[in-house]
């Protein structure tokens, strides 16, 4: 049991580089393992979720070095080179690992079981198992559609033309990875843009993916060739400091080498609509991904109606965006965000309950929340073992009238093990205690 206690702070100031992008770290291991040759990765996120993916591929016979200062070496085994693991693959809390691996493993010639912790085992998996079944895969779930997933190998997959019922990069990526092992073409059409790291990285490894509008197409007639990957800083981790420096007085923070993939920058767009002062400095491209430094200073935020088109582009950042809304003048309205209810927890309900504990006027709706900004009190809130909620309420301490205690923060290690050190180096008055 890890508890965060945050005292009101004077502000955040300094320059930091947050850890590597989690989405890209997962995919670098997956595609590097299936490539021909040796892949070198820089900036790999050495956190529990990404390590779950790394350990899973080691269990399937891939030689992968331990991360050292973000550097990982992967000795690829080729597209057909994975071996049956000796035991179920335990993926901890990582929904990305489970959903993407279910597609990749559906086309292998061996059986496999995917398991996870209590939180992951309660999350919906039919969104991937049902379209995979249309491709010919055999995957058994629990009665409610959750993990463990029992995947039967040696099944001949066939390509499908699938329209996603809900915008989801994980489902899209799952089907594209399965499409590498399917006869014919696999086409995935999304209702709104989502992060496109899988398509970009596949092309970077020399595996052709055609993109036309919101449709991605892949077939089995390619192979992956080892490539060097430089993983930029994770904008989802940077988001906590973008909000923190915006809401706290006397703040100026520069975040270095942040990934600026246009399918991920919704958090910046939303904060700017709210009046945040965010400068994009030294934009550049590294390994096919746009990167920049971000300078953010204190600003007076105002409530807005969040455009639904931006919701899929900021889906992981809403816990801390709710904190921004609580500190803004006026009303903020979020709609079209049903996906938040099936993350590590129901992030709409849990964030609303925490905000209400801090005397914020927050009303839950079916697909979002209505927040009337105002003064936050201190208090004790529950993270429900959700890393993003724990870090979001830590930032709330910058504007609360007294201390905020956040319970059950151990899962911060799934995405951002350095959070406490970086936050305190910038001036957040945070202490972490373990019981």
Residues designated catalytic: 316
DSSP result, 330-365: SEEEE-S-GGGGGSSS-HHHHHHHHHHHTT-EEEEE
Determine phi and psi for 383, rounding to 5 degrees.
Answer: -90, -15
66-94: burial string, b at 16+ Cβ within 10 Å, e else: ebeebebebebbebeebeebeebbbbbbb
- Cβ-proximal residues to 68 (8 Å cutoff; 6+ apart), any chain: none
- Rounded Cα–Cα distance for residues 255 and 265 (Å): 14
User: Cis (ω within 30 of 0) for the bond into 8?
Assistant: no
**SS3 of 403, please?**
coil
Could you give the strand order of the β-sheet that contains 72-75, starting from the edge strand earlier in sequence?
A: 63-64, 72-75, 38-42, 229-230
- Rounded Cα–Cα distance for residues 426 and 14 (Å): 6
Tokens encoding 1: 């049991």
**SS3 of 217, please?**
strand
DSSP result, 54-79: HHHHHHTT-EEPPPBTTBEEEE---T
């Amino acid at each position: 049991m890890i508890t965060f206690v945050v005292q009101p702070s004077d502000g955040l100031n300094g320059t930091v580089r947050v850890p590597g992008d989690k989405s890209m770290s997962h995919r670098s291991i997956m595609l590097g393992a299936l490539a021909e040759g040796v892949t070198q990765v820089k900036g790999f996120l050495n956190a529990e979720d990404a390590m779950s993916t790394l350990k899973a591929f080691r269990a399937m016979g891939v030689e992968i070095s331990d991360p050292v200062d973000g550097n990982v070496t992967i000795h690829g085994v080729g597209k057909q080179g994975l071996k049956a693991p000796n035991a179920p693959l335990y993926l901890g809390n990582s929904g990305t690992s489970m959903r993407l691996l279910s597609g990749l493993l559906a086309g292998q010639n061996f059986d496999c079981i995917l398991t996870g912790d209590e939180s992951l085992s309660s999350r919906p998996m039919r969104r991937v198992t049902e379209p995979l079944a249309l491709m010919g895969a055999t995957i058994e779930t629990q009665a409610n559609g959750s993990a463990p997933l029992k995947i039967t190998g040696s099944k001949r997959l066939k390509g499908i033309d699938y329209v996603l019922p809900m915008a989801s990069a994980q489902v899209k990526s799952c089907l594209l990875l399965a499409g590498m092992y399917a006869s014919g073409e696999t086409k995935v059409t999304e209702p709104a843009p989502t992060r496109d790291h899988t398509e970009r990285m596949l092309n970077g490894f020399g595996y052709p993916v055609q993109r036309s509008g919101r449709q991605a197409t892949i077939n089995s007639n390619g192979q992956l060739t080892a490539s060097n990957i430089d993983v930029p800083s994770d904008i989802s981790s940077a988001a906590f400091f973008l909000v923190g420096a915006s809401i706290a007085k006397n703040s100026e923070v520069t975040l270095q080498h942040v990934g600026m993939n246009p399918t991920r920058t919704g958090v910046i767009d939303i904060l700017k609509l709210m009046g945040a002062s965010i400068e994009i400095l030294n934009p550049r491209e590294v390994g096919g991904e746009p990167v920049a430094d971000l300078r953010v200073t204190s600003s007076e935020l105002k409530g807005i109606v969040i455009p639904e088109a931006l919701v899929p582009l900021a889906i992981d950042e809403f816990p801390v965006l709710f904190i921004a809304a609580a500190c803004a003048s006026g009303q903020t309205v979020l709609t079209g965000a049903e996906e938040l209810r099936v993350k590590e927890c129901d992030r709409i309900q849990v964030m609303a309950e925490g905000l209400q504990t801090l005397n914020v006027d927050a009303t839950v709706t079916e697909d979002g929340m209505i927040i009337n900004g105002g003064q936050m009190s201190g208090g004790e809130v529950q993270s429900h073992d959700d890393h993003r909620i724990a870090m979001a309420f830590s930032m709330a301490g910058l504007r609360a009238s007294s201390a905020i205690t956040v319970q059950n923060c151990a899962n911060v290690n799934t995405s951002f093990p350095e959070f406490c050190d970086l936050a305190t180096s910038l001036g957040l008055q945070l202490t972490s205690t373990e019981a």
